Structure 1
């Protein structure tokens, strides 16, 4: 099968314009970021520019804005839809819930999985929501009729991660059976079964350029895959523990990978190691999320929220979640996360069965 693709190119001016448009489109008045003082320091951005917004989002402290409850099990997956109107969560209670982003109210509950829902993604080109679960199934939901329209069968065990290709009608899934499966979304046929990992795969990501697939596994390796050839082109062995999350930068040729000791940054396409993000101490990182302003969030199994400047790799803020009343201290783990499309709200799914909404402090 032949694939046609090209590199993503975006100038500094183009990126600045895109961020400015996103802010005007999605920012809510009650969450709007305040401007800098009238006399900023020489190394601070000029007042009123999109660069200034990015500066504030990175370096202000963050606080809890809202706690949303409704699931009866761990919240294991979360995704925000492209128009920033709602978000979906998947839980160990076997359900997918759709919530209004502005109010936090429940819109819809989808049932169909018979075990925990581990991964969710909404297509930005089709009215589809994709879900993957511990019941070995991958489902495609029609968002106009709110029902399953396709099932993708092939995994031999639980499916832990999925990713949609940004330009092709291709779905990539991975999980406990240690293989990456590439599907044609329309026909439900497998295009490739990518073998090489020797342990369950916790995270898989797609991008439009080579290497088009990146996967992180419990075998402590990260693998880069050629989608057209259907083979591994690079195996990274820098991690010493299970790789729990990988995340590709949407506009740069870089990606991140996290294990229980460190978060590492890599340069693509050669996967050159760029260094470790500077943390106060080693901790288990379950989830990584990146805002449009290059603010990296890392959610810890101990309930720690770490925020990093993606470019300098320095930690800029840290806080701790608090389990909801009735929970025990051990249920403070952060299992999944996502920034909204404006980058001024962070959603976390947690082991206390709640979803928490965070934003810059006043």
Structure 2
């Protein structure tokens, strides 16, 4: 299954790779910015420009819980691997940890000076990674809501950051197309690759952690192989902005979502 979110206020779940629609989720009153499966695959969490974070029962396609508390649009969301906690990142410069069982906000994480663009739990840990328009990345302890470390090095607004589970590496990208790789244990970038000049909107590691895909506003998906010092482009979605990328791990297929409402599967 694949889930997509859109400016049309809807999220949709599709069969993969056939592309048939299974469920359409209606309820948000503004664009849907992020989607993340519950570890069991039975529920979905979404974030939206309507300032809410919602949990959905996938068997019914119904919203079963709405978290309200952000003052502005919510850009991203992530589900902890235990399934009991959800994290959200907002334009209001804060991130939040939500307790699913008590249905309340556990912590509000303050420290970024501008909009928080992305948020992600490191699987099977209490570490949270955020990226921000203030040009930094931060690691947080979800048990306390406190910031542990900040990464400086981007010269432009950071749009997204993600972990590689295989190599203790973080990848991040910014509004001028710069991709940076970081060692989780250090506070300096270990590699910088210019994929610009247009914005790099999202990054994803493949299963091995040796290949990074970058969603670019120039209409291409950039493929970076740091060990081989290679960069090449995949083009097939016209000139429209590519907003998201994700690897389908079992067979290493790549999916990309674009501003024209299409999803491409690359093999």
Alignment gaps of 5+ in structure 2 = 1-12
Aligned pair in 2 of structure 1 residues 106, 169: CA closer, same or farther (>3 Å)? closer
Q: State how 1:272-291 maps to structure 2 within 5 Å.
A: 272-273=229-230, 275-279=232-236, 281-291=238-248
Indicate the larger mover: 77-86 or 246-255.
246-255
Indicate the larger mover: 246-255 or 121-130.
246-255
Q: Tell me the residue number matched to 2:264.
A: 306
Selected match of 2:173 from 216, 220, 229: 216
The answer (yes or no) to whether the contact 1:142–1:149 under 8 Å persists in 2 is yes
Structure 1 distance, partners of 2:125, 2:102, is: 24
Selected match of 1:202 from 159, 173, 186: 159
TM-score by length of 1: 0.65
Q: Tell me the residue number matched to 2:126.
A: 169
Selected match of 2:149 from 186, 192, 205: 192
Q: Tell me the residue number matched to 2:214.
A: 257
Structure 2 distance, partners of 1:267, 1:108, is: 41
Structure 1 distance, partners of 2:155, 2:196, is: 14
Q: State how 1:47-196 maps to structure 2 within 5 Å.
A: 57-58=16-17, 61-125=18-82, 127-196=84-153
Deviations 1:48-70 (A, max 9, x none): xxxxxxxxx55xx4233332211
Alignment gaps of 5+ in structure 1 = 1-30, 34-56, 310-362
Number of residue pairs matched by the alignment: 253
Q: State how 1:217-232 maps to structure 2 within 5 Å.
A: 217-232=174-189
Indicate the larger mover: 211-220 or 250-259.
250-259
Aligned pair in 2 of structure 1 residues 250, 125: CA closer, same or farther (>3 Å)? farther
Structure 2 distance, partners of 1:96, 1:228, is: 31
Aligned pair in 2 of structure 1 residues 207, 252: CA closer, same or farther (>3 Å)? closer
* CA shift for structure 1 position 295: 3.1
Structure 1 distance, partners of 2:50, 2:256, is: 24
Structure 1 distance, partners of 2:152, 2:214, is: 20
Output the aligned Cα RMSD.
2.2
The answer (yes or no) to whether the contact 1:212–1:226 under 8 Å persists in 2 is yes
Structure 2 distance, partners of 1:167, 1:232, is: 24
Indicate the larger mover: 86-95 or 245-254.
245-254
Structure 2 distance, partners of 1:252, 1:134, is: 30
The answer (yes or no) to whether the contact 1:296–1:308 under 8 Å persists in 2 is yes
* CA shift for structure 1 position 289: 2.5
TM-score by length of 2: 0.87
* CA shift for structure 1 position 106: 1.6
Aligned pair in 2 of structure 1 residues 294, 101: CA closer, same or farther (>3 Å)? farther
* CA shift for structure 1 position 251: 4.5
Q: Which structure ranks higher in relative contact order (CA pairs < 8 Å, sequence separation ≥ 6)?
A: 1
Q: Which has the higher helix share?
A: 1
* CA shift for structure 1 position 207: 2.0
Structure 2 distance, partners of 1:145, 1:200, is: 35
Q: Tell me the residue number matched to 1:241.
A: 198
Q: Tell me the residue number matched to 2:255.
A: 297
* CA shift for structure 1 position 145: 0.8
* CA shift for structure 1 position 211: 5.2
Structure 1 distance, partners of 2:225, 2:262, is: 27
Q: Tell me the residue number matched to 1:7.
A: none
* CA shift for structure 1 position 196: 1.2
